Structure 1
Amino acid sequence: MNEMLEAVWRYRHFIVSSIKNDLRSRFARSKLGALWMILQPLAQVAIYSLVLSRIMSAKLPGISNPYAYSIYLLAGMQGWSLFNEIVSRSLTVFVDNGRLLKKIVFPRVCLPLITVGSALVNNVMLFLVMIVVFAMLGHFPVIALLWMPVLMVITAAFSLGLGLLLGVLNVFVRDIAQFMMVVLQLWFWLTPVVYMASIVPPSLHSLMQLNPMYWIIDGYQQTLVYGHGLDAMNFVPVVIASLVLLVISLFLFRKAAPDMVDVL
């Protein structure tokens, strides 16, 4: 583990430059460029707001803003977009960079870190735009500015642990990426992003709370929508799950790394 951390530190400039290149290459020939990173989730929020706002606004207690449901949606999408991007890109990060792994000698663990760094930059940009939108809607949660870095780190840690584990397995069994894309869509609807947990039958609440993303998204909603601080006790299981996933994924990565290049 220490060797891996030392390798990451030695290649820190490579990681930072790769993140910059990744962001540039994704929108190299696009006239709107990086704006697409922001416009896509905002468009999704706008669609859900138009379709569901009248149904859901009556079920959102504790906030009197007429745009309450749109604010709720933006808060949930802020957390989900970070999770979804890291996991979905980590699934194929080694497969997509197979030629690079064969031609250049560098710590392979740099690749998922570049993915996480790029996703975090996207998410910070979305957050800044979201704060502007909130201010335009008459809603400015000051406390969110304090808790957002904590939430982003927890979300990124959980996403990286899961994404790296599945990314390594996907090198050897390519069906995993296809299967997980379906799972992510189902996972989205099993997490209260576009609906409130209060509308779910009470008998299912305990089952819903087994979903780590339930607590992560709830954290975003509590801070961004209601202006509350995070309840540390709610996040203890999520942090433990994130650490366990990271340890397992790094262990599997170390064991599988020598064979990955041959398979690719």
Structure 2
Amino acid sequence: MIPTLRVLLHMGSLQRLFPFWLAAIALAVWGWTPWLILAVLYGFILQFFVEYAMHRFLLHRKPPTEQGIFNHLYRSHIGHHEFPADPELFTGDDHWYPVRFGLISVALHTAALWPFLGLGPAFTFAFVGLFAGSVSAFAFYEYCHTLAHLNVPKGWIGQKITRDHLAHHYQDHHATFHVSLGMGWIDRLFGTGHDAETAKARFDRKTILSIGMDPEDLRLVTARKAYGLPPKPGMKRAQPGE
């Protein structure tokens, strides 16, 4: 657990979200009502659907042809598939994105609830739900994701998280988009659960790490150079002094 938490403490996105999480806890204490329990549960569950949707439809979308846009997608996710053991690639490079996403979500939820609850309660419900509930679920996701990739001793829970997630990396990148423990039902709900026979039929050893792209594709080669990564997928990044 300690090595995993050490990585999480250095994640820029979690560092930037932490003050908003604290503010949500403070707001919940200041304006306490039992309805805020529902708000936290709502935000917590909502985040698991967001996790699935962003992973499947945004991070695994058709690779862009324009190199600059492709580089952004590469740094956000493709590079993580090509170099899954590199901690620097566990998250994207835009560490303020979750904060912007959260603030926009709070604004939209407040606007939707305002006619029914009034401005103050609507804002409180939205802010507490999304910055206490959703951020807690997001931190749990990052914990599960990091644990799956670190080569550390794992109990049966850690082993299950690792088996489920690495099936997405090494067997079938078209399935198992959930990462958080216990959220496999979301994949099953949307028809992307892991199936051994389907995975075997889809498997291509040459392209599995590059999520279906030819590893010699010029876009991939250019992106690796841009981010100082090894020339071939799966290789270890050179450390200082090596």
Q: TM-score, normalised by structure 2?
A: 0.35
TM-score for both structures, normalised by structure 1? 0.32
- Bigger share in helix: 1
